[in-house]
Structure 1
Amino acid sequence: MSEKPTAVRVYLARVRTALADLPASEIEEILEDVRPHLAELEAELGEGARVEALIERLGTPESYAAELRASGGYPAPAEGTTQVLATAKAPSLAKPRIAFWGLVLSAVALALFAFAAAVRIDPDALLGAMLFLPVFLISLFLLLKGGIEPVLALPEVAWLRRTLAKGREQEDSGKALSYLSSLKPAWWIVCAVVLVAFGLLLMLRERDAVLLLPFLLLAGVAAVWAGPRLRGDRRLLWVAVPISAFVIGGILGGFGAAVDLISNRNSYSSSPSYYQSSDRYGNEQLTYGGREVENVYAFDAEGKPLTEVYLYDEEGRPLTVTRYGCERSSGTKEKIGADNRFPRPRVEQGVTDDQGNFNGYNGYRSACREDAGVPFSAAIPKVTAPPATPSSPTATTTPPPSSPTTTPTR
């Protein structure tokens, strides 16, 4: 059984092919000079290092061969040979480019949707990330089919690697990059912890998020497994990059949610007020003093409850909120519409026993009922009208006394 070729052997074989126009003795001399350096590099990368890891450090074997040719003063390949090689062997960049940018787009999308879900503490915000799932799967398929090597040879990837290499050469940025690199082992543990905590937080807000928790747990395990192996197998970037992007977006969103919560608490702590928020259906809701208001009861001056009351704000806009009711087939509370009519029947969920009694002691069947009654009585304070201020008497003109009638004397 033949021994599996090492990464150095595969890399040098391609270098030999790129130098095939030189004399055989010259090729052997060049390879003997670089073989120890490649062996040291392979030992540094660790056992099981792949060719892709050497390409990331040295460039493609063809570009490395060109550098060796130039440093040794050897002539460039003949023009006719170059054209033949370019025509026969130049690979298309379309597939590796799709694989690379598919990974980038998927990672950015995950970061944005994780940020939105953390800010709103709403798992439904993650549903938009499903739109990018086909993009990621196509990218992963092209990677597994073509390998990581063509992706690492892309011009944009080469530019990124050169930029990072220049950053390491500069003192300030080099220290920063070295510090971030030293945090890599702990980063994957942080990713796993954040993913699990994120899932539990969403589950506390919305019970349906329990379906999301296994996927987050799996992603946490994948991060801890794939992260330390990136140095030897760059294909694992398609696991580590999306997970890292999701975690970074979730952390930033959680920080934003905390800042918003603190600012709102400070703004509304002085006095309760009405403001609108959104429920899981996207409908605006009323809250009072930080608590959601599901129903409003109105009474007349005699303390009698009013029905068919419609609420509007000072600009004439209806205060439309979600209306819930009983879904008869499943016996659960469900949305049945949205309006500004109050009061609403109270929806109660429970169980029934075998006689159909609601909330039976030995209940086993889910049930739901609506109660249109008012759950409390209101004592309306009597408003006593202030006594009317007596008006000042109207001045009347007293007629002058009539002159006494004089009866003439005879």
Structure 2
Amino acid sequence: MSDKPTAVRVYLARVRTALADLPASEIEEILEDVRPHLAELEADLGEGARVEALIERLGTPESYAAELRASGGYPPPSEGAATVPAAAPASPSLLKPRIALWGLMISAAALTLIAFAAAINVEPDALIAIVLPAPVFLISLALLLRGGVEPVLALPEMARLRTSLGRLREQEEGGKALRYLGSLRPAWWVLCALALLTFGVLLMLRHRQAVLLLPFLLVAGVAAVWAGPRLRTDRRLLWVAVPVSAFVIGGALGGFGAAVDLISNRNAYQSASPYYQSSSDQYGNDQLTYGGQSVGNVYAFDAEGKPLTEVYLYDEEGRPITVTRYGCERSSGTKEKIGSDNRFPRPRIQLGVTDDQGNFDGYNGYRSACREDPNVPFSAAIPKVTTPSTASPTTPPSPSAPSSTSAPTAPPTTTPTR
């Protein structure tokens, strides 16, 4: 039983033959590095695993040897090497493998941009654009499943990538960086799952209809955790791991951009007018305060108690008192920032729901609604104040007529005597 060669021994024997042009010490070092990985893969496949199962996972021994040769920075095989005839059949058609590879790359780039747009605006509607790269990805996946991953890995561009990585590993700093990144791979897949879950929750809190996206993001997170650790043994899982990673990276960049935008909006007014101080709300938007409390609107009335419109506020230096203006976002029924100015009064923003007939604040409401009310919510009784300028003409005594206050100074004859 011990004389029967195992699948790993047969596979490694063919790898050794494909590397026969290298020095014997180098061949032994390469085989010692890959033997534990192959043994682990054979254990996963179960007892009695055949060489064909290893070829299905890793490709032919000759192509695997070519990959090891390139990653180690070794020169290509000589003209008489045994690997040349084995590689010859792969050359006639590179179109389908190339479509499979670049379809994956294009889909990943598109997912990065879509996730960036959705995260920077915290807007789930941007995710609808996923339907655009979906056909490209499905074509790439179909070609992969039909032709296998080996023709893709044998493409010249993949060989150049492996050669570049091999040269980078030979450098001291580059090798350290690659080893460090490799040690972070298990944590990266868990981080991807957490990022997708967090992204879904944030979208759901901002827009309730985004709850429909949460299951898909959960499935993508679970797929990343499952596929990531298995990439070393099955490169077909790149078609799962690469799109998920691209989406997470795009979302992270978009979230960073949203944070920068929030901070810049908070400091924009202070940078524009450093002599005027105003308070800010929790989003960093400028606000007015009176008596230590936030003032969201200002109403002006004339002397007759009639409300004034199109009133513009300025401070004593002639600077506009510019604060954030809010309005209704019609598609989502939410209150959103639409700009900033010094024009008052502003419409009141009322949030509620609508019923089946579209009535606002319906009892059986089912859809979020937002309404802008331009009316003044109260009436003002303007007090009548007598100013010194209006009282002065009647207060002094007239020089041509006696004052009514002179009666007490009448002659004594008006007073009765006894």
Native 8 Å contact 2:353 2:360 kept in 1: no
Other-structure match for 1:107: 108
> Residue by residue, what CA displacement relative to the aligned partner does 1:208-263 show, whole Å, maximum 9, x if unpaired?
21111111111111111011100000111111111111112222222222222223
Which residues of structure 1 form unaligned runs of 5+?
Answer: 20-25, 27-32, 278-286, 314-319, 389-410
Other-structure match for 2:304: 302
Letter in 1 for 2:306: K
Other-structure match for 1:170: 171
Native 8 Å contact 2:16 2:27 kept in 1: no
Distance apart, 1:105 and its partner CA: 1.3
Letter in 2 for 1:182: S
354, 376, 379: which one aligns with 1:377 = 379
SS in 2 for 1:59: helix
Distance apart, 1:142 and its partner CA: 0.9
Question: Is residue 2:281 matched to residue 1:271?
Answer: no
Other-structure match for 2:191: 190
Which residues of structure 2 form unaligned runs of 5+?
Answer: 21-25, 43-53, 271-276, 289-294, 314-324, 391-418
Once residues 221 and 129 of structure 2 are traced to their aligned partners in structure 1, the CA distance between those partners, rounded to angstroms, is 21
Once residues 164 and 63 of structure 1 are traced to their aligned partners in structure 2, the CA distance between those partners, rounded to angstroms, is 9
Letter in 2 for 1:201: L
Native 8 Å contact 1:192 1:219 kept in 2: yes
> Residue by residue, what CA displacement relative to the aligned partner does 1:110-166 show, whole Å, maximum 9, x if unpaired?
122222222222222222232111111111111111111011011111111111111
Native 8 Å contact 2:112 2:250 kept in 1: yes
Question: Is residue 2:54 matched to residue 1:47?
Answer: no
Letter in 1 for 2:34: L
Distance apart, 1:324 and its partner CA: 7.8
Superposed, which structure 2 residues align to 1:227-242 within 5 Å?
Answer: 227-242=228-243
Superposed, which structure 2 residues align to 1:291-330 within 5 Å?
Answer: 301-305=303-307
SS in 1 for 2:191: helix
Native 8 Å contact 1:53 1:232 kept in 2: no
Other-structure match for 1:316: none
**TM-score, normalised to structure 2's length?**
0.61
- Higher mean C-alpha deviation, range 264-273 or range 223-232: 264-273
Question: Is residue 2:127 matched to residue 1:120?
Answer: no
Other-structure match for 1:29: none
SS in 2 for 1:289: strand
CA pair 69-304 structure 1, distance change in 2 beyond 3 A: closer
Distance apart, 1:51 and its partner CA: 2.1
Distance apart, 1:198 and its partner CA: 1.1
Other-structure match for 1:93: 94
Once residues 140 and 91 of structure 1 are traced to their aligned partners in structure 2, the CA distance between those partners, rounded to angstroms, is 21
CA pair 105-387 structure 1, distance change in 2 beyond 3 A: farther
Distance apart, 1:207 and its partner CA: 1.4
Other-structure match for 1:213: 214
CA pair 94-351 structure 1, distance change in 2 beyond 3 A: closer
SS in 1 for 2:353: strand
SS in 2 for 1:215: helix
Other-structure match for 1:243: 244
Letter in 2 for 1:271: S
CA pair 311-249 structure 1, distance change in 2 beyond 3 A: farther
Once residues 230 and 261 of structure 1 are traced to their aligned partners in structure 2, the CA distance between those partners, rounded to angstroms, is 38
The root-mean-square deviation of aligned C-alpha atoms, in Å, is 5.3
CA pair 15-375 structure 1, distance change in 2 beyond 3 A: same
**TM-score, normalised to structure 1's length?**
0.62
Native 8 Å contact 2:116 2:254 kept in 1: yes
Once residues 154 and 134 of structure 1 are traced to their aligned partners in structure 2, the CA distance between those partners, rounded to angstroms, is 23
CA pair 54-206 structure 1, distance change in 2 beyond 3 A: farther
Letter in 2 for 1:59: A
Identity of aligned residues (%): 54
Native 8 Å contact 2:334 2:351 kept in 1: no
Native 8 Å contact 1:123 1:202 kept in 2: yes
Once residues 303 and 329 of structure 2 are traced to their aligned partners in structure 1, the CA distance between those partners, rounded to angstroms, is 29
CA pair 110-265 structure 1, distance change in 2 beyond 3 A: same
Once residues 37 and 208 of structure 2 are traced to their aligned partners in structure 1, the CA distance between those partners, rounded to angstroms, is 48
Letter in 1 for 2:260: V
Once residues 61 and 388 of structure 2 are traced to their aligned partners in structure 1, the CA distance between those partners, rounded to angstroms, is 94
Once residues 310 and 210 of structure 1 are traced to their aligned partners in structure 2, the CA distance between those partners, rounded to angstroms, is 41
Once residues 255 and 329 of structure 2 are traced to their aligned partners in structure 1, the CA distance between those partners, rounded to angstroms, is 30
Superposed, which structure 2 residues align to 1:129-168 within 5 Å?
Answer: 129-168=130-169
Aligned length: 332
Once residues 54 and 387 of structure 1 are traced to their aligned partners in structure 2, the CA distance between those partners, rounded to angstroms, is 106
